[in-house]
Amino acid sequence: MLARISTRLACTEIELWQKIIEPRSLQFVASPILSFVPVEAGVLDGEWQVGRTYPLKLYFLKFIPLGRHIIQLVKIDRDHNTISSRESGLLASVWNHNIFFQEEAPGVVSYTDEIEIQAGWLTPFIWLFAHLFYRHRQRRWKVLLQKKDEQEQEAN
């Protein structure tokens, strides 16, 4: 099943790239619903890298273990503003995530998460969860980007 969730963000493409390329941003936008804990120290340091496998432990509400989750970035295309990952975990054998975004007007970015989900008989339930979770993530993106604006204003 395919879930597709879109929103508009108050930022530029450059501002979004500055945050979206950092694995730390995943921690922020997923919290508190999901937490990704690196299996190895330093796995989420730096920037996302194509071809690298990110082994993580996944938690629901920070304390309910959902098993291991693997993220592998297969595409980061700054020219076309797309990021694609192939992911899998205990509950979903396929969780392929594509991000697309484009600046529609100065300071307004159209942003879309598209997730392919395969989880056997759980697929419809996980598809529903994905819709709720990605709406939450998109709200958290707005908070994260607003914090960046506030920090820049304080510096000036």
Kindly list the structural domains of the chain, giving each domain's residue range(s) and its CATH number in brackets, ordered by start.
2-155 (3.30.530.20)
95: Cα within 13 Å, side-chain hemisphere:
21
The bridge status of strand 94-105 relative to strand 34-38 is unpaired
**Which amino acid makes up residue 55?**
P
Sign of CA dihedral 26, 109, 148, 142: negative
User: CA 25, CA 19: separation in Å to the nearest integer?
Assistant: 6
Which residues, including other chains, have CB under 8 Å from residue 126's CB and lie 6 or more apart? 91, 92, 117, 119
Q: Is the peptide bond before 32 cis (omega within 30 degrees of 0)?
A: yes
State the pTM of this model. 0.91
pLDDT at position 65: 97
Whether 150 shows a pLDDT value over 90: the answer reads: no
pLDDT at position 148: 58
> Which residue, among 98, 95, 97, has the nearest Cα to 80 in the 3D structure?
98
φ/ψ (deg, to 5) at 65: -70, 135
User: CA 130, CA 104: separation in Å to the nearest integer?
Assistant: 25
Whether 155 shows a pLDDT value over 80: the answer reads: no
